[in-house]
Amino acid sequence: MSCKIGLDGGGTKTEGILVNVHGDILARHLAPGCNPSVAGADQARLVVTDTLCALAAAVPAGETISATLLCLAGNRAFWREFAATLSGFGAVQTADDSLPVLELATHGQPGLVLHAGTGSFVAARDAAGALHYAGGLGWRFGDPGCGYDLGRRAIARALLELQGWGPPSRLATTLCDYTGLADAGALTRFFYHDPQASQKIAGLAPALLRLASEGDATAHQLVVASVLELAELATRVATKLFPDTALDVLPAGLSGPILIHPVVHSALAARTPLALAPVSGSPIDGVRELLARLRP
Which residues partner with 29 through β-bridges?
16
**DSSP string for 85-136:** T--SSSEEEEEETTHHHHHHHHTTSSEEEEEESSSEEEEEE-TTS-EEEEE-
Give the whole-angstrom CA distance, residue 127 versus residue 67: 26
CA distance 235 to 163: 37
175-180 contacts at long range (C-beta below 8 A, 24 or more positions apart): 175/204, 178/203, 178/204, 178/207
Per-residue pLDDT tens for 60-112?
999 999 999 999 988 899 999 999 999 999 999 999 999 999 999 999 999 99
Distance CA 6, CA 4 (A): 7
Q: What is the percent of the chain where pLDDT is above 90?
A: 85
Same fold, 2-97 and 98-280: yes
SS3 at position 35: coil
2-97 belongs to CATH 3.30.420.40: yes
Under CATH, which number does the domain 98-280 receive?
3.30.420.40
Query: Quick one: pLDDT at residue 296?
Result: 64
Domain ranges within the chain, ordered by starting residue: 2-97, 98-280
Cross-strand partners of 97:
none
* Contact predicate 135/96, CB 8 Å: no
Q: Would you give per-residue pLDDT tens digits along the chain (296 residues)?
A: 689 999 999 888 999 999 999 999 999 999 999 999 888 999 999 999 999 999 999 999 999 999 999 999 888 999 999 999 999 999 999 999 999 999 999 999 999 999 998 789 999 999 999 999 999 888 788 899 999 999 999 999 999 999 999 888 899 999 999 999 999 999 999 999 998 888 899 999 999 999 999 999 999 999 999 999 999 999 999 999 999 999 999 999 999 999 999 999 999 999 999 999 999 888 999 999 999 988 76
Rg of the chain in Å (alpha carbons): 21
**Dist CA 238 CA 248 (whole Å):** 11
**Widest distance between CA atoms in the chain:** 71
Residue 21: strand, helix, or coil: coil
